[in-house]
Amino acid sequence: MVGALPDPDHPERVVLGGRELTNFSSNDYLGLRTHALLIRAATDCMQQHGFGAGAAHLICGHSIEHAALEVELAEFLGRERALLFSSGYLANLGVLSALASRHDLLVADRLNHASLLDGARLAGARLRRYPHGDIESCARLLENQGGARLIVTDGVFSMDGDVAPLRALAALAQQHGAWLVVDDAHGIGVLGAQGHGALEQAGLDAHSVPVLIGTLGKAFGSFGAFVAGDAALIDSLIQRARTYVYTTALPPAIAAAARAALGISQREPWRRRHLLRLVERFRAGAVALGLPLLPSATPIQPLIVGDSARALALSDALLGFDLWVSAIRPPTVPQGGARLRVTLSAAHSEAQVDVLLAALGEVFARETVGVG
Ligand SMILES: *Cc1c(COP(=O)(O)O)cnc(C)c1O
C-alpha cells in the first residue's frame, strides 16, 4: 500500500484514496513526526544553510548541527560520546563489522533485526544464534564455543514487542568477558521514566552495556541513527566503521529536527505516560475480546494469526473501519508467524484505541463465523 502523508495536526491520521484512516502501523511512538518545532528547526536550518551536508563527516560534512546533536544524545543517554549514522541499518553494519572480525565469535538472539544479522555477516564473524530470549541457550553457546567477543541483541524486539532479558545478558557478558551490544531502536524515547530506553528500565549502566545503538526515525520522528558509548569506542568507530566513513552525512536540517525532537521528548514526559496508558488500555480490551496477544508491555502489540493470507484479510477488513494496521508476513517474521502488528502512539486518543478494539472484535468474530 502506498503510504499516505499525514495531516500535520494529526500525525496518527492519514488520507488514503479519499478516506481518512487512523494509523496503527507507524513507529512514530511519541507522535513527533509532524510536530511544529521539528518542522521549524528543519526549515530554519535549511533557509539559513541550504539542504545537503555536501560530503561525508570526515571530509567536510560534519556541521555544528551534527556535533550538537551528538553531544545532546550522549548527555541524554549518560554516555561519554555519541556518533551519528545515516540510518540504523548502516549503524548496525558499521558497528558489527568494526568490532568483530572473522576470528571472533558473535552470539545473537534469533529474532534480532535484519540489520544486525547483516552486520555480523559483513564482519565475517562466526555467528551463533540462540532461540529468542533463551538465556540458557545463550549461556551454553558461550560456554561451548570458546570466548565470544560480542553478545548482540535488540532492546525491544521490533516484531514481537517484548524486551530482551538484558540483566541476564549483561551478567553473562561480564562473566565471559564479552561486550554486550544493544540495539534499542524501539526503546529509546519510549521506555524508562526518563525515556532512556530498555536499559534504564532494566537498571543497567553504561559499564554493563558498552555499545548502545538507537535510531532517530522512530520515537524521535526524524531520520538517522547513532551509537553511544565511551570515547575510545567512538574513536575506533570513526576510524573503522565503513558505513560511517564512506557515506554522505545527514542533511544538517535533519539533525536540527532530531535535536528538536530530543528536547520535546525530555520536556514532555506526558507523551510516554499517555502512550503507556494506551498500551494498558489496548491490552485490557484485547484480553476481554480474547484476541491473540503476545506478552508485550511496549507500544508494539502484535496479534498472531499464523497464516499470511489470513493476516492480509484481517488487515483489509480493518481498512473497512478506516483503520490502518499492517499485516506482517514471513520472511519478516518466522514461517507460520504472520500477524497484525498494532503500534500505538502518544498521538492516539483513548477513543481511537477503543474504536480499534471494537473493530478488531468484529473482524475476528466475523472470521470465526465465516470459517465455521
Ligand atoms: C528500525 C530498526 C533498525 C533500522 O533503523 P533505521 O534507522 O530505520 O535504518 C535497526 N534496528 C532495529 C531493531 C529496528 O527496529
Pocket of ligand 1 contains residue 160 by CB under 6 Å: no
Q: What is the pLDDT of residue 333?
A: 92
Q: Please check whether residues 57 and 99 belong to one and the same domain.
A: yes
Q: Please check whether residues 235 and 277 belong to one and the same domain.
A: no
| Nearest-atom index, ligand 1, CA of 158 | 15
What's the average model confidence in pLDDT over 232-246?
98
Q: Please check whether residues 239 and 146 belong to one and the same domain.
A: yes
Chosen domain end from 244, 267, 290 = 267
CATH of residue 96's domain is: 3.40.640.10
Mean pLDDT of the chain: 95
103 catalytic? Reply is no
Q: How many domains does the chain have?
A: 2
Which residue minimizes the CA distance to atom 1 of ligand 1? 185
Instruction: Tell me the C-alpha distance between 139 and 211, whole Å.
Output: 20
Q: Please check whether residues 179 and 276 belong to one and the same domain.
A: no
Q: What is the pLDDT of residue 372?
A: 38
Chosen domain end from 234, 267, 300 = 267
What's the average model confidence in pLDDT over 207-214?
97
CATH of residue 300's domain is: 3.90.1150.10
Q: What is the pLDDT of residue 370?
A: 52
- 73 three-class SS: helix
Which residue minimizes the CA distance to atom 6 of ligand 1? 88
Q: What is the pLDDT of residue 367?
A: 81
Question: Of 334 and 8, which is predicted with more confidence?
Answer: 334
Report pLDDT digits (tens) over 296-322.
999 999 999 999 999 999 999 999 999
Asked if pLDDT for residue 180 goes beyond 60, the answer is yes
Q: Could you tell me the distance, in angstroms and rounded to a whole number, from the CA of residue 364 to the centre of ligand 1?
A: 30
CA angle 74, 77, 83 (to 5 degrees): 35
Pocket of ligand 1 contains residue 186 by CB under 6 Å: yes
Q: Please check whether residues 315 and 214 belong to one and the same domain.
A: no
Q: What is the pLDDT of residue 17?
A: 79
Q: Could you tell me the distance, in angstroms and rounded to a whole number, from the CA of residue 302 to the centre of ligand 1?
A: 18
Cα–Cα nearest to 222, from 92, 76, 30, 75:
30
The share of the chain scoring above pLDDT 90, in percent, equals 91
H helical segments located in the chain? 36-49, 64-77, 88-99, 114-123, 135-144, 166-176, 198-202, 231-240, 242-245, 252-267, 270-289, 308-319, 350-371
Pocket of ligand 1 contains residue 89 by CB under 6 Å: yes
| Nearest-atom index, ligand 1, CA of 225 | 7
Q: Please check whether residues 24 and 60 belong to one and the same domain.
A: no
Q: Could you tell me the distance, in angstroms and rounded to a whole number, from the CA of residue 90 to the centre of ligand 1?
A: 9
Domain assignment of residue 52, given as a range:
36-267
Pocket of ligand 1 contains residue 109 by CB under 6 Å: no
Catalytic residue of the set 218, 274, 315, 326: 218
Q: Could you tell me the distance, in angstroms and rounded to a whole number, from the CA of residue 177 to the centre of ligand 1?
A: 27
Pocket of ligand 1 contains residue 158 by CB under 6 Å: yes
Q: Please check whether residues 11 and 106 belong to one and the same domain.
A: no
Which residues, at least 6 apart from 284, have a Cβ–Cβ distance to it below 8 Å?
A: none
Asked if pLDDT for residue 356 goes beyond 50, the answer is yes
* CB distance 29 to 299 below 8 Å: yes
Q: Please check whether residues 310 and 293 belong to one and the same domain.
A: yes
Catalytic residue of the set 158, 222, 296, 308: 158
Chosen domain end from 236, 267, 298 = 267
Pocket of ligand 1 contains residue 183 by CB under 6 Å: yes
Q: Could you tell me the distance, in angstroms and rounded to a whole number, from the CA of residue 369 to the centre of ligand 1?
A: 39
Cα–Cα nearest to 108, from 33, 54, 180, 189:
180
Pocket of ligand 1 contains residue 88 by CB under 6 Å: yes
pTM (whole model) above 0.85 = yes
Choosing from 25, 115, 117 the residue with most ligand 1 atoms within 8 A of its CB, the one to mutate for a pocket test is: 115
Q: Please check whether residues 129 and 273 belong to one and the same domain.
A: no
Q: Please check whether residues 182 and 237 belong to one and the same domain.
A: yes
What's the average model confidence in pLDDT over 74-81?
98
Pocket of ligand 1 contains residue 156 by CB under 6 Å: no
Asked if pLDDT for residue 371 goes beyond 60, the answer is no
Pocket of ligand 1 contains residue 215 by CB under 6 Å: yes
Q: Please check whether residues 21 and 44 belong to one and the same domain.
A: no
Q: Please check whether residues 263 and 338 belong to one and the same domain.
A: no
Instruction: Tell me the C-alpha distance between 75 and 84, whole Å.
Output: 14
186 catalytic? Reply is yes
Q: Which amino acid is at 298?
A: T
